[in-house]
Amino acid sequence: MKVPRSPSFRLDGRSALVVGGTGSIGFACAVALAENGASVVIASRRASAVESAAATLVGNGFTAIGVPFDASDEVAVRDAMHRHGPFAILVNSAGIARPKSAFDTSIDDFDDIMEANVRAAFIVAREAARGMQAEGGGSIIQISSQMGLVGGQDRSVYCASKHAVEGMTKAMAIEWGPHGVRVNTICPTFIRTELTAPTFENPKRVAWIESKIKLGRIGETEDIMGAVQFLASDASAMVTGTHIIVDGGWTAG
């Protein structure tokens, strides 16, 4: 009997683009990829932020550079892909949330959320996939949300945007699968970051969140890193068009 061999999580020799890589979750994703041997390009709008994030990785012995661009700007994304790609791995962690009731959500809020969470996700995935197809394949990972699978309090537009990302991911997986390009999402629960800190200042809100998370704790950025390593690597070679739910059981019921 032939003994099967476990696939490797290593990413040596592969180039990875992490969009939104200066945020807490995005930077954790960049570290996860770098720790496994990938050369990482960190992207976000602010030049100083991407340079600082890349310098931190380099200071820890990893290979990284920072490239500033607006992920919702088609021309800027295409130019960055041309100058620094092709990439074997794309992680898109860029996005925004403006928790408000539907009545209090303005059309400007709607447009901003959809631009950051859907338009940008579409553009970076499409442009990264062009290079991946030419190279024989790659892995695209969208940081979605548990709210892409269920509804959420004061999050009508945010939920709409993440449901859109889930549907887009499935369609892209069908279209690009024959070219070896895998497309998946990671759906986290509430993760403790600088941006979510105000949420956790409200004891009632924290109690509600913890009551929904069956493991009884708020998520940490480290909880995302294993899922990123898996989806970026050959360990997930037969995984596409789906999601990994990192929600501590929130969506289990």
Helix, strand, coil distribution of the chain in percent, nearest 5: 50, 15, 35
- Residue 86: cis peptide before it, omega within 30 degrees of 0: yes
- For 55, other C-beta atoms within 10 Å of its C-beta total 14
Strands 15-19 and 89-92: parallel
Give me the catalytic one of 158, 176, 230, 250. Answer: 158
- For 253, other C-beta atoms within 10 Å of its C-beta total 5
DSSP 143-211: E--GGGTS--TTBHHHHHHHHHHHHHHHHHHHHHGGGTEEEEEEEE--B--TTTGGGGG-HHHHHHHHH
Which residue carries 């962690």 as its tokens? 93
Task: Find out whether 43 and 67 touch, Cβ atoms under 8 Å.
Answer: yes
Active-site residue 72, yes or no? Answer: no
Task: Find out whether 227 and 246 touch, Cβ atoms under 8 Å.
Answer: yes
Catalytic residue numbers, as ranges: 158
